[in-house]
Amino acid sequence: MRLLQLTLILLLTLAFACNKNDDPIIEDPIQEPDYLLPSSGLLETNPHGSVNEIECDDQNNIWICTNGNGVVKYTGLDYQTYTNLNSGLASNKVNCIVSYANKLYFGTGDNGLSIFDGANWEHYNRYNSELPKDEIFDMAMDQSGTLWLVSYDNLTSFDGTEFISTRIDLEIGLSHPAVIKVDKNNEIWLGGNQGFFKYSNQTFNDFDQPIGSLFDFDFDSNENIWLASPAYGLQMFNGDTTYRYTPPDSINLDLTIFTVAIDSEDNIWCGSSNSSYSGALIKFVPSSEQWSYLKSPSNVAEQAYNVTSMAADKYDNIWASSLRGLCIYKEDGVTYN
């Protein structure tokens, strides 16, 4: 009897073991932390080498300024490249671009200004015009259609006919790199090695704010100025005071920020030079002070590493250029027509 009981126990044990092994193993899904942006929203385009700046025109074409390969136009379907060999572009080194009234203005790194209306090219340099420098760092268009150009020690306006230059005192810090933008009130703002300034009534106004070297800035819908500084990270100037924003200790981010872009919902997008490849594309929501970033897999890291320029198009796709190419990002998937 005892032998029969032991046999039954053994058979039941074996049966239970077999059933346990046959049952599928169900594991809890791994939840990504809230601060990670979904990598599924990233789209890589064909690399074009080192990219200096990106601009979206009125038709949502993307213009890519490269550091030696000319200018690339991306329509969403194909690419068209303009160089000094196949077009009237003055140089293959293009630092900046402005789109205005169906014309494109290209500021080159060594041969002045090129203007393209879709069919014809114009070219201005220090030999055929009053343009003081052939190396143009950045440009912006004001509401009257006057183009403003900044170079090593000059701020220059161009109304389509005449160049008028103002000498910049180098002590205010507008040596390379420098950035210039126009706000909704048609006021001129400039940034450089010693901070940022407003140009008004032929005077450079310093706000005496401790922001460090300024590489880029942008305006939100309330005309707050968001500042990208490699030394001080992400800051905001509201016209009176500068506020510095830092992520919590739980999020290990490199805030060596070189560029910033703002989407239609006033989300702040930052481009960092994160050497670990993670967090090169950073999102900050001012209303909740929430930080998140794109954790780049290795195939994406080649594109997202060391972001140098950013732009938000009309679909809120974020275009990010780097020394290694170009990528497009949107959390719920890239939308492009």
Residue spans of the domains in the chain: they are: 54-136
Question: Which pLDDT does position 261 carry in this prediction?
Answer: 94
Q: What pTM did the predictor assign?
A: 0.82
Mean pLDDT of the chain: 79
Helices (H) and strands (E) in the chain, counts: 2, 29
Question: Which pLDDT does position 127 carry in this prediction?
Answer: 96
Question: Which pLDDT does position 59 carry in this prediction?
Answer: 85
**Main-chain phi, psi angles of 314, to 5 degrees:** -70, -15
Question: Which pLDDT does position 90 carry in this prediction?
Answer: 96
Sheet with 195-200: strands ordered across: 179-182, 188-192, 195-200, 203-206
Question: Which pLDDT does position 285 carry in this prediction?
Answer: 96
Sheet with 94-100: strands ordered across: 94-100, 103-108, 113-116, 121-124
Taking 70 as the pLDDT cut, the residues of the chain under it are 1-49, 169-177, 208-210, 252, 254, 273-279, 295-305, 322-325, 337
Question: Which pLDDT does position 36 carry in this prediction?
Answer: 56
Phi-psi region of 306 (alpha: psi -120 to 50; beta: other; left: phi over 0): left
Question: Which pLDDT does position 50 carry in this prediction?
Answer: 76
Question: Which pLDDT does position 144 carry in this prediction?
Answer: 94
- Cα angle 335, 65, 319 (rounded to 5 degrees) comes to 25
Counting residues of the chain whose pLDDT is more than 90, the rounded percentage is 38
User: By the 8 A CB rule, do 50 and 66 touch?
Assistant: yes
Amino acid at 319: W
Q: Is 40 exposed, middle or buried (0-12, 13-18, 19+ CB in 10 A)?
A: exposed
Question: Which pLDDT does position 93 carry in this prediction?
Answer: 95
**Main-chain phi, psi angles of 245, to 5 degrees:** -115, 130
Pairing of strands 195-200, 188-192: antiparallel
